[in-house]
């Protein structure tokens, strides 16, 4: 039985990380894909939990071996999603969730066209800027760059199957859970999961 593959994408500040964390706490049937990266661990990050931290030589070898479902170079560091791990999890019937950007989502769909795309939007541009500014860690120039990047990201919302507007966190979480619940009730999913029952009904 094949599991589902969920792709969750959002601009910085839309609340994606919080929503995904809350979803995983409430749904033990979904596994979060942990990316590989060549960047150094930050304070408090654990290998295998935040990322799989590898050196550049190891990462490049994984590229040559076609080990990645998608990968990219960002600010001088490499990031990639393990194809083999995802295929093994889904083959075992487990659902997998990817937190990736729209470019990574496009790459994933080439391999898994049935992947379920979910885009998280802020309730307004003004609220998004307020959230980014409220972190208190970035300069005005950095926030301006993040806002420009967010606008570019949000232009790709039409490429996704579902859109969740994160105005109220609890409502957005329920909307996200509704998508995962509904996908498991689709005919093909139910027919695989309950093959013996279906065989006796008609």
**Each residue of 101-127: pLDDT tens digit?**
999 899 999 999 999 999 999 999 999
Q: Identify the residue whose tokens are 């279906």.
A: 198
At 1, the pLDDT band (50, 70, 90 cuts) reads low
Backbone conformation region of residue 75, classed left if phi is above 0, alpha if psi is from -120 to 50, else beta: left
* Structure confidence by residue, pLDDT tens digits, 33-47: 999 999 999 889 999
**pLDDT (tens digit, 9 = 90+) per residue, 46-63?**
999 889 999 999 999 999
Residues 32 and 20 sit within 8 Å (Cβ to Cβ) = yes
Q: Over the stretch 78-99, which tens digit does the pLDDT of each residue have?
A: 999 999 899 999 999 899 999 9
For residue 61, CA distances in Å to 55, 68, 103 come to 10, 10, 22
Tokens representing 43?
Answer: 């304070």
Q: In order of start, what are the domains of the chain with their CATH numbers? A: 5-33+94-201 (3.40.50.300)
pLDDT digits (tens, 9 = 90+) for 22-36: 999 999 999 999 999
């Amino acid at each position: 039985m094949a599991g589902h593959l969920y792709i969750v994408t959002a601009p910085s500040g839309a609340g994606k990380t919080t929503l995904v964390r809350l979803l995983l706490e409430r749904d033990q049937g979904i596994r979060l894909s942990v990316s590989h990266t060549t960047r150094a661990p930050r304070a408090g990050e654990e290998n295998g939990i935040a990322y799989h931290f590898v050196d550049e030589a190891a990462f490049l070898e994984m590229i040559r071996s076609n080990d990645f479902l998608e990968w990219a170079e960002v600010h001088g560091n490499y990031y990639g999603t393990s194809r083999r791990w995802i295929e093994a999890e889904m083959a075992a019937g487990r659902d997998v969730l990817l937190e990736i950007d729209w470019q990574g989502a496009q790459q994933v769909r080439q391999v898994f066209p049935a992947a379920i795309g979910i885009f998280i939007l802020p309730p307004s541009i003004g609220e998004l800027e307020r959230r980014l500014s409220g972190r208190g860690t970035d300069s005005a120039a950095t926030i301006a760059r993040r806002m420009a990047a967010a606008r570019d990201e949000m232009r790709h919302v039409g490429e996704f199957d579902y859109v969740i507007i994160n105005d109220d966190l609890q409502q957005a979480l329920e909307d996200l859970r509704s998508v995962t619940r509904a996908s498991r009730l689709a005919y093909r999913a139910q027919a695989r999961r309950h093959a013996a029952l279906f065989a006796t009904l008609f």
